[in-house]
Amino acid sequence: MMKMLFASVFGLILTVSALISSTPNTTKELDILKEKMTLQNAQNMFKDALDLYYADKIDEMIEAYNKMIREFENSTNEEINVMMVQSMYNLALGYKKKNDIKAEKDTYKRIVLKFIDANDTNTEFIVANSLYNQADIAYNANNTKDEIKIYQKFIDRFENTDDENIRVLTVGIMASLGYVYGKQGKENKAIDIYTKLIDKFEDFQNEYAQSIIVGALINLGINHIKTGKIQEGLVSYQKIIDKFKDSADSNVVQIVAAAVTNKIEAEICNDIKPTFSDKNEELADKSEYSIFMYEFLQILYGATHERQTENLNIWQSKYSHFSFKNKNVDFDFSDLDKWVKKLKNPKRDWVQECIDALKMFADK
């Protein structure tokens, strides 16, 4: 999660003595003087609060920022408004340090409400981070309803931004929304958001964003398969393999390996000749889970022709140390279970023997 503390650097501030060195003789001059003194006061208050933050005097910092916000919240001065949004964001981070989640969340809400339509780069970035952090709070509270609302609000506001930092956040937000829809069983909504994400950002040359996009692609494939769109799912998996097979990113390497085995499983369960190959085995071998599954799927496919008891025993012995729980894998057996029921004996018994052997690794 991207957390940032904002500090403004202002140019030379005129001192009060300089401001009043000559006596103003018109109402306009008096207004200019008043505005300059108000700005200087805001700058001083902002700096004092920031100094308290860096000194880790959080209670005093919170009091100082709240005082400043109360005094200048309705200002129409552009420079003061820049300090206001920064002050509110720093205040939220102060509440976070105090573990006051409600106050932190409420402060992010105030920022979004007041500055959502601002178009200067600095303020846009703070608003984007405020929404991002709000979503994180909702996620940690298991408040899926709020989480979805915040994700959608973020997308509505920032999906077409040109700012690279906000684009990175947007990629993460869209992927998160797709994931939530998938977990809810709303596969078509997940497909829509993943497709939109990939269409918009597939060529976005940012390493972090690309790692999220490859994750979106595999989830797109999973949701296509769940809705019976087998060819679309296979295309998503193959796209990962083709585009990211040479990646040096460790997370991407794991996803590529998973795409290989997901694709082969989908092929077997839908009576499509599985794409076993030396290259795919090499890719799967970069992940212990994926090579475990790759070798299982070879045995499973063999069971559609003859009993595989001996090969199963060898495989089980080789991976006796392995368990899904140790790898944080929540394996979905539904496709295999549906497929085996369609088979006729003796093929059904041969295949069921393999599936039962795999389920033992989920029960460890």
Q: How far apart, in whole angstroms, are the C-alpha atoms of residue 307 and residue 320? A: 21
- The tally of CA atoms less than 13 A away on the side-chain side of residue 305 is 6
- Does 340 fall in a domain? yes
Mind listing the pLDDT tens digit for each residue in 132-160? 999 999 999 999 999 999 999 999 999 99
pTM to 2 decimal places: 0.85
- Does 336 fall in a domain? yes
What range defines the domain where residue 274 resides?
269-364
At 218, list the tokens: 């595999």
Mind listing the pLDDT tens digit for each residue in 250-280? 999 999 999 999 999 999 999 999 999 999 9
Mind listing the pLDDT tens digit for each residue in 95-136? 999 999 999 999 999 999 999 999 889 999 999 999 999 999
- In one letter, which amino acid is 81? N
Q: How far apart, in whole angstroms, are the C-alpha atoms of residue 225 and residue 187? A: 10
- Does 31 fall in a domain? no
- Does 263 fall in a domain? no
Per-position DSSP letters for 275-298, written without gaps between them: ---HHHHHHHTTSHHHHHHHHHHH
- Does 155 fall in a domain? no
Q: Is the pLDDT of residue 24 over 60?
A: no
- Does 249 fall in a domain? no
Q: Predicted confidence band at 28 (pLDDT cuts at 50, 70, 90)? A: low
- Does 113 fall in a domain? no
The total of structural domains in the chain comes to 1
Region 342-361: mean pLDDT is 96
- Contact by Cβ (8 Å): 230, 267: no
Region 186-197: mean pLDDT is 98
Q: Is the pLDDT of residue 225 over 60?
A: yes
Going by C-alpha positions, the residue among 298, 210, 225, 314 that lies closest to residue 261 is 298
- Does 17 fall in a domain? no
Q: DSSP H helical segments within the chain, as ranges?
A: 16-19, 27-54, 58-72, 78-97, 101-115, 121-140, 144-158, 164-183, 187-201, 207-226, 230-244, 250-269, 278-284, 288-302, 309-318, 334-342, 347-363
